[in-house]
Structure 1
Amino acid sequence: MTRTPSSFEDIPDMADEVAVLMASRFGGARRGERPPLVQMMRRRGGALPAGLRRRAARLAEAGRMSAQPKVARQLSLDDVARDHAALVAHLRPLGEISRWQGRAIGFAASVVLGLLVLGGVALWVMVRRGML
């Protein structure tokens, strides 16, 4: 879902969206807090791959510069849109519910593996003692 900004006024919204996605995926924000992208980059920017970290830094800088209309008009909206799309594509696939489901499935898989190993050991002991 590539979102093309129609003007420099859309850039802060795009930066805020990336900041919220970073906070939901990597943590770093208290409940109810919505820190700006610059702050999220300081807190959890290291969790992003290097290429995306550079894109997030550019988007954060564009978000900061968009507060000054004369400077913001000099920004390339296509570059900002590409940076936003790449970051959203990386951060969005795993939402909070998906991560919770992944943890639950991982826990269930480890329990099942443990039971299989326990059953195999019990079967081996029964064969060694001649019970089977």
Structure 2
Amino acid sequence: MGIDDIRPKADEIASLMAARFGGVRRGQQADLDSMLRRRGGALPRRLRRAARLLAEADRVAGQPKLARQVDFPQFERAYRALTGYLGPLGRRIRWQDGAARVAASVALGLLALVIAAGVVAWRRLA
């Protein structure tokens, strides 16, 4: 565990929060700090403290002298607690939502293909 691991872990927690609680537009990636402002209240109090610790570590990760002051064992405990809470809950629902999105895009593509074929057939008859 080092300074280079701070940013990816904070981004992972932010994406887990976005997947579980929402608050991010489709195609956008929010950072942990903005996710805490938007949906931080949905976390339990002890996990909110852990998320604030991760956000603070993420903020100082760009400055090497300050990043060395991060308490890495405490950071790792907070990361494990947050992934343990956010990861498994809602996994089935997230999978179902993903499958529904794929099915909807396939149906939309087929509908566009049928409409295009109908227009071509109508043009040939007219």
Partner of 1:123: none
Name which of 41, 45, 48 aligns with 1:50.
Answer: 45
How far apart, CA to CA, are the structure 1 residues paired with 2:59 and 2:16? 18
How far apart, CA to CA, are the structure 2 residues paired with 1:70 and 1:24? 33
- Whichever of the two has the greater Rg, that structure is 1
Name which of 31, 37, 44 aligns with 1:36.
Answer: 31
Ranges in structure 2 where 5+ consecutive residues have no aligned partner = 97-126
1:16 matches 2:11: yes
Distance 1:71-1:100 versus aligned 2 partners, 3 A rule: closer
- Which structure is richer in relative contact order (CA contacts within 8 A, separation 6 or more)? 1
1:61 matches 2:63: no
Partner of 1:99: 93
Percent identical residues: 50
Query: Structure 1: which 4+ aligned runs deviate by more than 3 Å?
Result: none
Letter of the 1:88 partner, please give it: T
Ranges in structure 1 where 5+ consecutive residues have no aligned partner = 103-132
How far apart, CA to CA, are the structure 1 residues paired with 2:32 and 2:95? 27
What are the Cα deviations for residues 19-40 of structure 1, in whole angstroms up to 9, with x where unaligned? 0000000000010111100000
How far apart, CA to CA, are the structure 1 residues paired with 2:20 and 2:32? 14
TM-score calculated relative to the size of structure 1: 0.69
Distance 1:101-1:39 versus aligned 2 partners, 3 A rule: closer
Letter of the 2:93 partner, please give it: R
